[in-house]
Structure 1
Amino acid sequence: MASRRRMLLKLIILGDSGVGKTSLMNQYVNRKFSNQYKATIGADFLTKEVQFEDRLFTLQIWDTAGQERFQSLGVAFYRGADCCVLVYDVNVTKSFDDLNNWREEFLIQASPSDPETFPFVVLGNKVDVGGGNSRVVSEKKAKAWCASKGNIPYFETSAKEGFNVDAAFECITKNALKNEPEEEMRITTIFLGLLIVCLPALVFIMTKDTFLKQLMLPGEDGHRDRQVASVELLDGALFIRVQKQLLL
């Protein structure tokens, strides 16, 4: 009899700032899209329950910042990942050229047991922009790069229109299942990751007045944004959720 116990799969989304990582995640999980751009601070995640081959899974999708000043957080957020999603903007050459750097950085920080077989999926996003006339990275070029890295699955997507988003995440889930670790190992990994991620939050709470000023960032409209950490309980494991709050 097939197991109906819900399992956890951790997905990491990487790519340059502005390629649509947050929009892809929100389109897949919430069926929502916003034209208003706000850079992710540190990392955030959403969860979605899916059923595959009579098994229930909770996808924990981590949306990470594309700015260099946040890359030092990589170890805490990358460890324990079951699949890494590399995203670029088909209209921006640099975002495609940087895919190799993101892939190598992930392999260094996450330290998977078998780097050669760890599952990646590449998404060429924003194919809707300009009716497709403004793209500078061809599908042929992208597929050639994916083939050179061990035949990484490739999808062209539009977070705005929802084009190919579900199909891409279905493939991502299937690839994540191939990397699913033993439960005991997963619990250990989550626990260690929790210690790494929670330590700054605990320091923040203990020295709130001191750190608050350092975490205030200028917003697009002249207001100030604050990075806020909250804790979420999921299947007996704790996870940190990092968000921005607007300070008027």
Structure 2
Amino acid sequence: MQGEEALPKPQRIFKVVFVGDSGVGKSSFLHQFCNHEFRGNFAATIGVDFQVKTLETKTSVVTLQLWDTAGQERYRSMTKTYFRKADGVIVMYDINLEASFTNVRNWMTSVQEQVEPGTVTMLVGNKLDTAEEAGTKAVKTKNGQELAKSYEMLFYEVSAKTGANVDDAMEDLTRLLQEKEDKKMEEVLQLTEITTKKGCCGR
């Protein structure tokens, strides 16, 4: 008699939106994460681009819907609409460009106006490779950590070019997305149990 086949893992789908100034490397980051290769010749994203990546975790198969939004000011009102129903938001800046870091607060204002409370957010400083080559960083790690802490965000410094920390950042985000969904499901089950008990036995 053959052993029982393992039950298929449950499927989960999460919508993750990428925002940040034009040129910080959102498209390159996504290409590195999805294809494990670097492309540095992306034209500026017009409106919104979309990619899908499937990850297998210990407990489930996770499909990430990755929305790459335009960083230019003229598309800002359009990209705002994509924050709605987002499970996660990644705000990216260029470690070598202080203005892109300063603008994180403006991006977070737009995000907070649209997303539901408790949406998982992550701050990502990109182009770590060029900062290390030059030996200087326009934005210090400590400043990124402090800003992320003030918004209760995850924080990573990455290189879309070398792939450094890209997978780690996305795996950490995925873990938090799953934990949040598990917590929601648990709360719903508890509420259902209370309602059922009241319906059966309450007077």
The TM-score bracket by the shorter chain reads: 0.7 to 0.9
| Deviation string, structure 1 residues 63-119 (Cα, Å, up to 9, x no partner) | 000011111113431111111111100000010011111111012133x1x2xx322
Shift of 1:174: 1.5
Q: Which residue, 62, 85, 92 being the options, matches 1:87? A: 92
Query: What is the rounded CA distance, in whole Å, between the counterparts of 2:30 and 2:23 in structure 1?
Result: 13
SS of the residue corresponding to residue 128 of structure 1 reads helix
Amino acid at match of 1:25: L
Aligned equivalent of 2:166: 165
Which has the larger strand fraction?
A: 1
Tell me the TM-score normalized by structure 2: 0.81
8 A Cα contact 1:3 1:54, kept in partner? no
Query: What is the rounded CA distance, in whole Å, between the counterparts of 1:95 and 1:8 in structure 2?
Result: 30
Query: What is the rounded CA distance, in whole Å, between the counterparts of 2:134 and 2:175 in structure 1?
Result: 29
Q: Which residue, 49, 61, 76 being the options, matches 1:71? A: 76
Q: Which residue, 14, 19, 22 being the options, matches 2:24? A: 19
Cα distance, 1:35–1:81 mapped onto 2, change above 3 Å: same
Aligned equivalent of 1:206: none
Tell me the TM-score normalized by structure 1: 0.67
Cα distance, 1:3–1:82 mapped onto 2, change above 3 Å: farther
Which has the larger helix fraction?
A: 2
Shift of 1:37: 3.6
Aligned equivalent of 2:137: 135
Amino acid at match of 1:120: T
8 A Cα contact 1:47 1:59, kept in partner? yes
The CA RMSD measured in Å over matched residues stands at 1.8
Q: Which residue, 5, 9, 13 being the options, matches 1:8? A: 13
SS of the residue corresponding to residue 164 of structure 2 reads coil
Q: Which residue, 39, 46, 52 being the options, matches 1:47? A: 52
Query: What is the rounded CA distance, in whole Å, between the counterparts of 2:47 and 2:21 in structure 1?
Result: 13
The equivalences for 1:1-248 within 5 A come to: 4-110=9-115, 112=116, 114=117, 117-129=118-130, 131-150=133-152, 152-180=153-181
User: Percent of aligned positions with the same letter in both sequences?
Assistant: 34
Amino acid at match of 2:150: S
Rg bigger for which structure? Answer: 2
Long gaps (5+) in structure 1: 183-248
Query: What is the rounded CA distance, in whole Å, between the counterparts of 2:7 and 2:74 in structure 1?
Result: 45
Query: What is the rounded CA distance, in whole Å, between the counterparts of 2:42 and 2:8 in structure 1?
Result: 41
Amino acid at match of 1:78: F
Q: Which moved more, 1:69-78 or 1:4-13?
A: 69-78
Amino acid at match of 2:62: F
Q: Which runs of 4+ in 1 moved over 3 A?
A: 178-182
